[in-house]
Structure 1
Amino acid sequence: MLNGIPIKPHGRFMKLDIQEIETFLRVAELGSVSLAAQQLGVAKSVVSKRLSDLERHLGAKLLFRSTRKVAPTDSGQRFYQQAKAALAELRSAAEAVAFEDGSLAGRLRILAPMSFGTLWLAPRLAEFMRQHPQLELALQLDDRVSDFEREGYDLCLRISRLHDSALIARRLGSSPRVVCCSPDYIREHGAPERLEQLLEHPCIGYCNLSAGQLWSFDDPADAQRPLTLAPGGRFTSNNGEAMRDAALAGLGVAVLPRFIVQHDLQAGRLVQVLAEARPTDDEICALYPRARRASLKVQTLCDFLQRALANESWAGP
């Protein structure tokens, strides 16, 4: 562990402590001394002292402090951008030397969707940790779209059709979806036989994003312009497992990822309808900031997850 970086500004030497810099980065990202202390596992007084020491060493005010929020000054913002990139490069260099044998150590914070995390990701992460016994993982499951970099995550997994120029997305695989409902629903209401007939059926909607109320299907005549429908229904949710449960209860027709409904389809608890209509696949992506390269830990985990997805019967290429 490096204790500090000697620098000589304006004719005087000073020593920058890596721990102080990392603490400043976390406070700047979270906008809160309390939250930073909680994530770092130290007292607020320790965080405050590290910040004060860093400002004293630099001879510059880095943060505006109020009773509500902490925000970087102009100097603090410049220091944040360069220090974050520099520390990322330093970690990558250290990892490349320290773990030449392929082992991994340290802490990795991951943000992932709720259903994907509980049904598929968590068991794979447990296997990954068994392969790397010195590695620590912190997994946060949340379907919301967040500024994961500012919240201190090393990696964010998303399942969507992502278009975000501020992030680097590594595609790990695809998540095919299926139109389905329960056998009881079909006995009571009949099954839709054409795509447009979905507008005549109660449908179960995903409400985490406004675009979730639009169902998108591949158009065999034009791959670049999918067919879209805006079905209605009595039940919406921001969680795929809750949507599956509503479909099992016969509340309507749903478009759901195969990783959520594969066992119910195999057991006959749900039935695929409109088999000829192909809902547009979502992409399973690993995201990390464009401003820095992925660390060795992130790269190794992404390689592992990509191989695991390639072996799943429900996943697309």
Structure 2
Amino acid sequence: MDRLPPLRLLTIFDAVHRLGSMQLAAAELNVTRPAVSQAIRALEDHVGAQLVDRSVKPAVATEAGERLARSTRSGLAQISDAIEEIRFAAGLAERQVTVCCTLGMATQWLMPRIAGFYSEHPGIMVNVQAPPSDLPHFAVGVDIALRYTAKPSEDGVTELLFPERVCPVGSPKVMAALMDDPANLRDATLIHVRVPQSYGWPGWSEYLASKALPRPKGPKQVYDNYIQAVQAALDGRGVMLGWRSITSALVMEGRLVPLPGGGHDFGTSYWATCAPDSHHKPAARIFMEWVSKAAQPMREEAA
């Protein structure tokens, strides 16, 4: 890098070559003409070759000067572009927020409401991540995590979104046969989701035990995530455990029907946690306020 001349000299040389005049270059750069001339001579001393032919009026670039001018123009343009990209990225970082949540929460609860956020805050972009493990955590770049837990997390600023609650749901046709007696679940096709116990989501075994209902004898269908399970329930392939965060909108639309008296509270809730490093970001604070407001009807319903 010691072989490179000072950037100031290259900038002055570029202006002289581009404008074809030391006087015009001096005016553009807001310096005196002698200062421009001295800069050109200093650059020539640095490269060890004459860059400007002063024997003609106006002075013109030598062959060496033309070569350096082409490289200087290209290099300065790349530097300028890089600076603009950095400025844009820095500004964009302040106008975006990255949210991490489960796939079911993202698909069924958050994304249907996100249009409301954009209508209120069109200048902020929301990036939604759903980790393959379905365990939202603060990876690099994540500002806010929406989590299903029994108690608030302590790794950031946490606010309650809504108490979670589960109830068996199915298509109207499937649920018609279960309306008279919840014990009919014993013979129904139950839709299961593969969720490791450590994730904290109770399954059919826990639900039936909590309601003192008999163990199921009917067939079962097993899916890898709640998105697949919801689609199976909508298609009339069985009964699934419907969490409010996943099936509440479909129940309101009448596309899924809850089991009367089948609701159960396992003492869990959904929480929004803002990472400590992101709490100062205006976009993150705005999203925290908005998501709490969006969840307010569900909080009031549970009260």
TM-score category of the 2 structures, normalised to the smaller one = 0.5 to 0.7
In the TM superposition, 1:112-123 aligns within 5 A as 112-123=101-112
Give aligned pairs, total: 206
- Whole-Å separation in 2 of the counterparts to 1:184 and 1:123: 26
What residue number does 1:253 align with? 239
2:166 aligned residue (177, 191, 195): 177
C-alpha spacing 1:133/1:163, structure 2 compared with 1 (3 Å): closer
SS of structure 1 residue aligned to 2:107: helix
In the TM superposition, 1:81-230 aligns within 5 A as 105-142=94-131, 144-146=133-135, 148-162=137-151, 166=155, 169-186=158-175, 190=178, 193-194=181-182, 198-210=185-197, 211-214=201-204, 216=206
- Whole-Å separation in 1 of the counterparts to 2:259 and 2:135: 34
Does the 8 A contact of 1:143 with 1:208 survive in 2? no
More strand by share: 1
| TM-score, with structure 1 as normaliser | 0.51
- Whole-Å separation in 2 of the counterparts to 1:178 and 1:147: 24
- Amino acid of the structure 2 residue aligned with 1:184: K
For each residue in 1:206-259, what CA deviation from the matched residue of structure 2 results, as whole angstroms up to 9, or x when unmatched?
21333543555599xxxxxx5588758531224323212222333322111245
- Whole-Å separation in 1 of the counterparts to 2:247 and 2:267: 15
SS of structure 2 residue aligned to 1:284: strand
- Whole-Å separation in 2 of the counterparts to 1:131 and 1:263: 22
- Whole-Å separation in 1 of the counterparts to 2:246 and 2:290: 21
SS of structure 1 residue aligned to 2:124: strand
CA RMSD of the aligned region, Å?
Answer: 4.0
What residue number does 2:87 align with? none
More helix by share: 2
Task: Tell me by how many angstroms 1:153 deviates.
Answer: 0.6
SS of structure 2 residue aligned to 1:236: strand
SS of structure 1 residue aligned to 2:173: helix
For the pair shown, which has the larger CA radius of gyration, 1 or 2? 2
- Whole-Å separation in 1 of the counterparts to 2:106 and 2:136: 18
**Residue 297 (str. 1) matches residue 283 (str. 2):** yes
- Whole-Å separation in 2 of the counterparts to 1:281 and 1:125: 27
SS of structure 2 residue aligned to 1:208: coil
- Whole-Å separation in 1 of the counterparts to 2:187 and 2:151: 30
Does the 8 A contact of 1:175 with 1:315 survive in 2? no
Structure 2 gap segments, 5+ residues each: 1-81, 83-92
C-alpha spacing 1:200/1:107, structure 2 compared with 1 (3 Å): same
Does the 8 A contact of 2:136 with 2:145 survive in 1? no
- Whole-Å separation in 2 of the counterparts to 1:190 and 1:271: 11
- Whole-Å separation in 2 of the counterparts to 1:130 and 1:264: 23
Percent of aligned pairs sharing the same letter: 17
Does the 8 A contact of 1:217 with 1:279 survive in 2? no
Task: Tell me by how many angstroms 1:205 deviates.
Answer: 1.4
- Whole-Å separation in 2 of the counterparts to 1:293 and 1:181: 40
For each residue in 1:130-181, what CA deviation from the matched residue of structure 2 results, as whole angstroms up to 9, or x when unmatched?
4334433322234634463233211111234357555653212223332122
- Whole-Å separation in 2 of the counterparts to 1:315 and 1:236: 31
| TM-score, with structure 2 as normaliser | 0.53
- Amino acid of the structure 2 residue aligned with 1:161: A
